[in-house]
Each structure stands twice: as C-alpha cells, then as structure tokens.
Structure 1
Amino acid sequence: MAGMANTQKHLISFNLENEIEHGIQVSNLAFRVGKQMGLSEEACHELAVAGVLHDIGKLRLYNYIAGEENPMVVEEMKYVRRHPELGYESLKDRGYSRFVLDSIYYHHENYDGSGYPENLAGEKIPMGARIIRICDVYAALTSKRTYRDAFSSETAMKMVIDEVKNFDMQVFLAFQRAIHEND
C-alpha cells in the first residue's frame, strides 16, 4: 500500500492541467513568432503543433517528478532531461513531420551550445527548436509553479534578456515583436 500512496503522490504532483496550459501557451507564442519571422502558414501551423507537444515526454516521467511540497531535486534532473528524447520516441511513428519531431527533440538546446540532449549550437539547432526554446522559457517563467509564483511578463522578459546567449538573436527579436504586438 505504501507504494500505491507514493505513486498517487507523484500523480498528484504532475498536474496535467498545468502541463496542457503550458503547451497551449508555448503553441500560441511559437505560432506568433513564426508569423513575425515571415514563415509560411504551414510552418507556423507546425510550430503550433510542436509547441503543444514539446513536453509530452514528461508524461513518461511522472514517477520521477518530486511531490508538490518539495522542489525538484538535482538527482531527478537526469530523468527530466530525458523528456525531449522520450517525447520524440513517443511521436516518431505517429505521422508527425520531421520539423515537428526535431522541434520537440532539440527544444532544450541553447544557441551557445550549452543545452541538451546533443549540445548543438547556433545554426545546427533546427529553426523550430530555436523558436520553441524561447517560447518555452517565457511560458514557464510567466506560469505559477508548485515551488514559486508566476513572474510578471516584464520580469520574465528581463530574465530572458539576461539569458539571451541561449537564444538565436533573430528568433529573440521576432519573439519580442510577438510579445509586444498587442501593446
């Protein structure tokens, strides 16, 4: 019975509703960034699909995510860092395009080469992944987490600017235009 309680604790801490909301936010942002970059309607649609699905690999990791009372511990990071690969593996035989699959697999690569899973840098990172990367970071910062409140959009943008080395500058500029297009 103790094992069952432990599993339930992890299921509770993995808030599917928050994950869905995050995916929708990333999807909408990615679509808007694609539009700002002058990408085709089809490419923008593919970005929206990749945005919704980018963290789907986390579904296979819910047992490794800490309970709501505790922030994630370093030990668990090795499992969570596998979610892009697990998402790719889950979707690769389901009819998604190479663009969508690569966007999901590489969405944690940083432009300076410090990301994962392959430590790609610069133009070696697929464009869709570069777009999803910045949208994912911003959406995560502006969302409430179990371990912290949401940051305001102004604070989140300052934090993104502080880490600009992680992002393609063209994508970053298009992202800024997309965020401010309704101001």
Structure 2
Amino acid sequence: MAERMREYKKKYPIIRISVAKEIMHGICVSNLAYRIGKEMNFSQEECYDLAVAGFLHDIGKMELVKYVYGHEEETLTIEEIKYVRRHSALGADALERMGYSPNIVEMVRYHHENCDGSGYPLNLTREDIPMGARVIRVCDVFAALTADRPYRKAFDPETAVELMIDEAKNYDIGVFLAFMRVIHEGNLEGLMENRETEEMLRRLTREVEG
C-alpha cells in the first residue's frame, strides 16, 4: 500500500496534498477520541486503542485514491459512492493483516455505523456497534465539519455542535454527552496536540506517508 501511494503521489501532486489533509484529520480524530475515552473513564489501554483507531480510521481510502483524492462525495456517481464506502472495510482488513488488535480493527471497520441503523457497511444499530466505533463516529463527524472542504469553509465549533445535535439520533447518547463535556472544556486548538500520544502519532504518520 505504501509503495502504491508513493507512485500515485509522484504522478498526481494533488494526492500529496489530500494525504496531508487526511493525516491532519486523523490527528484531530485521534486526540479527540483519546480525550473522550478519558472523560468516559476508559482504561489507559482502551484510550490508546481509541487514539490509534482514530488516526487510522480512514486508511482504507488509500486503496481508493482514484475516487477519493481530489474529489468530494457530492461529485461522485452512485456507483462510485458505493465503492468509496468500502474504505472502512478495506482499512480494517489491511490493519488486521498488519497485526493490529481486534479492538482497533473493529473500530475502523464500523466507524461509519449510526446508532439508528442508517450507517454503513452493515446498518448496525446501537447495541451492535462496538463502543470504540461509536466514539470514533462522533469524533470523525466533528473533525470533518470543522475542516475546510472544496465546496465550503470550515464550520466554527459551535455551529458544528449544533449541526450534530440535529443528527443526535446517529450517536450513542453517552458518547455524545462526553463529547459535549470535552468540547465545552475549550482548548480546541489542542486537538492537534497531545503529549500522551505524540510519539505514537509521529510513528504512525511516518508509516502512512511511506
């Protein structure tokens, strides 16, 4: 996978930019997930698993560079969207082959499932979605809303939270309340920094960039 990405990045410069954005997104999701885990009194090991899964949750997109990088889902055909939505399963399968823990693999595989059953890949409902995946789901949405997109500017955190409240049925209520407490603590700029996970993220970034 890393060799393929190096070839694509040489051929298509926009992919290098897009991968950099994915890494920044992964860091934000990772640090927020870690803080939510702490807020929910998860064990240290569980919090580190959240941090790893948060950083790597979209790694399956590297198998889909033709469709993902340089495009937005709104510009893709229905068939292309179906293909892109395989990224969570592709990422989980890749991490499983690489020897990551079953807990991390599960979080990556199911991070697009919604508690009301409207997510993918399996339309799972709350009880069937691993707790870690429920945490990553909330963090992924917030990080996406607060980042610039080609078709819109980033929402400020307050607006992002309001938009998420409108879709609260998608989220585990306990996770969402913990997320709200973390957000209201402030220091959102710190989502790009976490000394407790800094070395781990630095190592993972080197692996992803190849």
> Is the structural similarity TM-score above 0.5?
yes
State the shift of 1:68 in Å.
Answer: 5.5
Note closer, same or farther for the CA distance 1:92–1:69 as it changes in structure 2 (3 Å cut).
closer
Note closer, same or farther for the CA distance 1:16–1:169 as it changes in structure 2 (3 Å cut).
same
Residue 4 of structure 1 corresponds to none
TM-score, structure 2 as length reference: 0.79
Given residue 119 of structure 1, which amino acid in structure 2 is its aligned partner?
Answer: N
State the shift of 1:148 in Å.
Answer: 1.6
Residue 125 of structure 2 corresponds to 121
Given residue 21 of structure 1, which amino acid in structure 2 is its aligned partner?
Answer: M
Q: CA RMSD in A?
A: 2.3
Secondary structure (helix, strand or coil) at the match of 2:159 reads helix
In terms of mean alpha carbon deviation, does 90-99 or 42-51 score higher? 90-99
Residue 14 of structure 2 corresponds to 12
In terms of mean alpha carbon deviation, does 11-20 or 57-66 score higher? 11-20
Secondary structure (helix, strand or coil) at the match of 2:117 reads coil
Kindly indicate whether the alpha-carbon contact (under 8 Å) linking 1:70 and 1:147 is maintained by their aligned counterparts in 2.
no
State the shift of 1:178 in Å.
Answer: 1.1
Q: Give the whole-Å Cα distance in 2 for the aligned partners of 1:71 and 1:114.
A: 18
Question: 1:151 pairs with 150, 155, 160, which one?
Answer: 155
Kindly indicate whether the alpha-carbon contact (under 8 Å) linking 1:68 and 1:147 is maintained by their aligned counterparts in 2.
no
Kindly indicate whether the alpha-carbon contact (under 8 Å) linking 1:103 and 1:128 is maintained by their aligned counterparts in 2.
yes
State the shift of 1:31 in Å.
Answer: 0.3
Note closer, same or farther for the CA distance 1:33–1:71 as it changes in structure 2 (3 Å cut).
same
After superposition, what is the alpha-carbon deviation per residue over 1:4-51, rounded to whole angstroms, capped at 9, x for unaligned?
Answer: xxx955x61561110000000000010011011110111001000000
Uncovered stretches (5+) of structure 2, i.e. residues with no partner: 1-9, 188-210
Residue 173 of structure 1 corresponds to 177
After superposition, what is the alpha-carbon deviation per residue over 1:111-131, rounded to whole angstroms, capped at 9, x for unaligned?
Answer: 001100011101210001000
After superposition, what is the alpha-carbon deviation per residue over 1:125-165, rounded to whole angstroms, capped at 9, x for unaligned?
Answer: 00010000000000000001122211110110001000000
Q: Give the whole-Å Cα distance in 2 for the aligned partners of 1:90 and 1:111.
A: 25
Kindly indicate whether the alpha-carbon contact (under 8 Å) linking 1:71 and 1:146 is maintained by their aligned counterparts in 2.
no
Residue 54 of structure 2 corresponds to 51
After superposition, what is the alpha-carbon deviation per residue over 1:66-88, rounded to whole angstroms, capped at 9, x for unaligned?
Answer: 74599532332112100001101
Q: Give the whole-Å Cα distance in 2 for the aligned partners of 1:65 and 1:136.
A: 16
- In the TM superposition, what are the counterparts of 1:2-151 in structure 2 within 5 Å? 8=11, 12=14, 15-65=18-68, 67=70, 71-75=74-78, 76-151=80-155
TM-score, structure 1 as length reference: 0.90
Q: Give the whole-Å Cα distance in 1 for the aligned partners of 2:114 and 2:46.
A: 21
Across the two proteins, how many residue pairs are aligned to each other? 178
Sequence identity percentage: 56
Note closer, same or farther for the CA distance 1:153–1:119 as it changes in structure 2 (3 Å cut).
same
Kindly indicate which of the two structures has a greater share of residues assigned to helix: 2
Q: Give the whole-Å Cα distance in 2 for the aligned partners of 1:70 and 1:103.
A: 22
Q: Give the whole-Å Cα distance in 2 for the aligned partners of 1:135 and 1:47.
A: 11
